[in-house]
Amino acid sequence: MSSFSVKNQTLLFISFIFIVFSGILLSIVYVQKENRLVQLEDEHYDDIKFMHDKLLHKEIDFYTNRIKANINSAGVKEALLHKDREKLYKLSLGRFNTLKNENLNFTSMNFYTKEGYSLLKMNDKDFYGENAVKNFRMLQELQTTKKALSGFEFYNESLAFRIMLPVFYNEEYIGALEFTIEPQYILNEMDEYYNVEGVLLVKRKLGVQENKDENKFNKYKLAYNILDSARLLSEISSEHDIETIKKIRVNIDEVYSIYAFDIIDIDSKLLAKIVFVQNITKEIENFQNEMKHISLLLLLALIVTLIFVNFGFNRSIKNLENNYVDISQYKNLIDENLMTLSTNLHGLITEVSDAFCFISKFNKNELVGINIRLLLHQDVLRNEYSQILKELKKTGSWHGEIQQLKQDGHTFWVYANIQLKFKNNTIIGYDTVMHDITEKKMNEELMITDGLTHIYNRRYFNEILPRAINSVKRDGGYLSLVVLDIDHFKEYNDMYGHIQGDYALVEVAKALRSSLHRPDDYCFRLGGEEFAIIFKSADKNDAEYFVKTIRENILQLDLKHEKNSTFKIVTASFGVVTLNSKTLGNWEDMYKQADDKMYMAKNNGRNTIEF
């Protein structure tokens, strides 16, 4: 050692210390990475559970609203009260067919009498009279509580998700309406929206017949499966006890995390298991590659360290520290003043700037890990989200205006520039840079909105009607224009005053707006007591049914109007023009036809519709 120079002794000592430090560091990093992998699996479990629960609640809300809409349709309650099966079938057939077309797993729509007997099954019109309350525990509970219920139930070797609502007429319970959906729908939706595959296993003791060629899951039988890998399914069934599993890791050609959740009925009885699969091969490979990279970097760092010691390492460290301070300050400046957001390929937020948090009123902990879809306004999800993803896949970027949600439920507008995010030449997500355009959008909205009723104004009507006509001419179909006018409104103002008159206008506007459910349905206040509605329809019969529903909704307001000599409540007269793509002309002619028909309705006794 004494023959070594001071420099060489120093270099040897540094090498020894560095090797010891590297060993310790690699051990620490390995443990941390392994813990992070376990944590990632836990996060996947929580994410999948959250997405599964959110999806169930969304479906419950969606079909509950559809049940309410059917119950409140004109004549349905009366038909159920009088057990008029033919009328009930005709009134409900349109909505039943629409729901079946929207969801192939929507299986049945059933009406029950107040005594608990089957009155009408829309998918089997001739089946009725069964004492259903004896077979269905949920129906028994509804009969007792008279409250809405939803959940899984097993009957006749079939597991189904049921949503039931009681029906009341003049506050008296008269029966119930039930929608039934196959559990396959949950698996399909999880795969479509969140790219999560899975299977559903039903307990064998519930009576499902055995098949000697199928996979064995001990006490369970495979009911629904959307897994692409037959080998993975076989691995799960042969190696693991589904009864006790919460999450496991399966290593075949690729590595998967398996998560199982209980399916229970309203009495908390276990009916089935739903099992989701998350491919974590990439995370495992990244973990292994990162350990290799860290080892290589440490080796290179040792070499560089020895060189820098020889040529003034301390001075270089000082320069690096100064540069780090400058970069940190620059990063903080960007973070505080520029709205940025990053997501992974599944739409889960990975990074977000302070500026975005300030505008949205969320904090970073609330945003990181949630799906970006939860921050988007429903109009964006319904009309634009899929187009944005298509454009990103096609060109690698997208820019435009997006409406988003704040923590308090209010909305704000941004102009967003979205780019693909790469790592190791692999797409790992999306980076978004935004700036706030809320004030600009508010000014635009004010220009097209009626100040009293908050529906669209005449100015926007003059813009939308020509646009709608051109759309139908291009794409085909039917376009309907409705012009309606409140009956004897001048007399209403004279009797009740202008404040009450304004209230009546606002309530009618609300009734119109609540009747519209599609993105290309519009309602307008043209001036005074005159309103207009623009919508696309399948045919003239469809338009006629829709307008009659709107008239009924206005009558349901039950606004007192003593000067309306015949009806004594606020009513309206309707002029309707429905034209197909071949007969559509210019918008002025279409409006004049609808306006003329409205005056014909006035002359024919009011509260009428002229088609």
In this structure, the strands spanning 247-251 and 255-264 are antiparallel
Q: What is the pLDDT of residue 207?
A: 45
Give pLDDT tens digits for 207-255. Answer: 444 444 455 566 778 888 877 766 777 766 655 666 666 556 666 677 7
Residues 6+ apart with CB under 8 A from 307: none
| pLDDT value, residue 1 | 47
Q: What is the pLDDT of residue 181?
A: 93
Whether 534 has a pLDDT exceeding 90, the answer reads yes
In this model, does residue 67 exceed pLDDT 60?
A: yes
What's at 261, amino acid-wise?
F
* Rounded distance between C-alpha atoms, residue 167 and residue 184, angstroms: 28
- pLDDT at residue number 6: 66
Task: Tell me the Ramachandran region of residue 482: left when phi exceeds 0, alpha when psi lies from -120 to 50, beta otherwise.
Answer: beta
Number of neighbours of residue 266 by Cβ within 10 angstroms: 16
- Please state the φ and ψ torsions of residue 35, each to the nearest 5 degrees: -65, -40
User: 48 pLDDT exceeds 90?
Assistant: no
Distance of alpha carbon 276 from alpha carbon 282, whole angstroms = 18
Average pLDDT over residues 578-602: 93
10 Å CB burial of residue 509 (0-12, 13-18, 19+) is buried
Amino acid at 408: D
Report the pLDDT value the prediction gives residue 49, as an integer from 0 to 100: 86
| pLDDT above 80 for 388 | yes
Per-residue confidence at 512, pLDDT binned at 50, 70, 90? very high
Q: What is the pLDDT of residues 125-140, one digit of tens each?
A: 888 999 999 989 999 9
Cα–Cα distance for residue pair 378/127, rounded to 1 Å = 39
pLDDT, position 296: 86
pLDDT (0 to 100) of residue 208: 44
**CA–CA distance, 540 with 478 (Å, rounded to integer):** 8
pLDDT at 571: 96
Rounded distance between C-alpha atoms, residue 135 and residue 142, angstroms:
13
pTM of structure? 0.44
Q: Which residue has better confidence, 3 or 409?
A: 409
pLDDT at residue 10 is higher than 80: no
Residue 387: pLDDT over 90: no
Confidence of residue 600 (pLDDT cuts 50, 70, 90): very high
Q: What is the percentage of the chain residues whose pLDDT exceeds 70? A: 90
Q: Which residue has the higher pLDDT, 89 or 198?
A: 89
479 band by pLDDT with thresholds 50, 70 and 90 = very high
Helix (H) / strand (E) element for 261: namely strand 255-264
Q: Where are the beta strands (DSSP E) in 353-425?
A: 397-405, 411-423
Q: What DSSP designation does 254 have? A: S
Which of 113-117, 147-151, 184-188, 366-370 is predicted least confidently? 184-188
C-beta of residue 348 within 8 angstroms of C-beta of residue 369: yes
Ordered DSSP codes for 295-335: HHHHHHHHHHHHHHHHTTHHHHHHHHHHHHHHHHHHHHHHH
Please check whether residue 95 is in contact with residue 138, taking contact to mean a CB–CB distance below 8 angstroms: no
Residues 324-373 have pLDDT tens digits of 677 777 777 887 788 999 999 999 999 999 999 999 999 989 899 999 99
What's the CA dihedral at 501, 505, 511, 516 to 10 degrees? Answer: 180
pLDDT at site 215: 52
Q: What is the mean pLDDT of residues 532-561?
A: 93
Euclidean distance between CA atoms 407 and 418, whole angstroms: 22
How far apart, in whole angstroms, are the C-alpha atoms of residue 299 and residue 137? 68
Give the β-pairing of 106-113 and 172-181: antiparallel
Q: CA 30, CA 298: separation in Å to the nearest integer? A: 14
